[in-house]
Chains A and B, each alone.
Chain A
């Protein structure tokens, strides 16, 4: 049974750095093809993908946020950590981590989808 759970501060001040931890079970990030992403959702707004880490430690970031984001993993603890620097009130959102399932396209490439999500953690940025 796959589960993910986000943890971190509910309130951060502007300019501070946010650190969120995703603790998961039911799969391993050492398995070939496995990935975990972070996605956020400001109140009443749409989903925004932030970052992804793969089993081989390959990392990718949102184009608009890549200078502020860092994603890392600790496979011994089954955790993925996201940091977001220089927090602003516009970063107020529910932050989700999600496992990425995949299928193979006709060329043999993996194509991903978000098949398991954590319940999300609301982070408010305010002084």
Chain B
């Protein structure tokens, strides 16, 4: 199974900050990488697929980049509703569809 490692595990940021979450794959997954946002007590929601394609309805302050083994999720200007946990997930070696361990974005 392909291992997905996110960093940091958690971060504290203020409204308006630029936030970057990193995801590393255990082998090249080209651009077959998806990002999800999960708020407490809720199901995850798809933000980005194919490393950089925004899902319909997702605000443009979210963006994704990367290829091979290194990927980033960027929130250009953090909003109050963006405090959540973010997960990456690979769709290269599929199945199994492995997730990262999550990055919790907290209020500073």
Contacts and interface: CB of A to CB of B under 8 A. Distances in A.
Contact of B44 (A61, A62, A63, A117): A117
B43 A96 contact: yes
Given A46-B102, A47-B102, A49-B97, 7 more contacts: A47-B87, A49-B89, A96-B44, A103-B53, A105-B32, A111-B91, A115-B55
B20 interface: no
Interface string A48-80: 110010000000111100000000000000000
- Please indicate which of the listed interface residues B1, B46, B49, B95 has the most CB atoms of chain A within 10 Å of its own CB: B95
B98 interface: yes
Interface string A94-127: 0010100101010000011111011110000000
A37 interface: yes
Chain A interface size, under 10 / 10 to 19 / 20 to 34 / 35 or more? 20 to 34
Nearest to B45: A117
Interface of A: 37, 46-49, 52, 60-63, 96, 98, 101, 103, 105, 111-115, 117-120
Contacts of A98: 43
B59 interface: no
B99 interface: yes
B91 A113 contact: yes
A117 B97 CA distance: 15
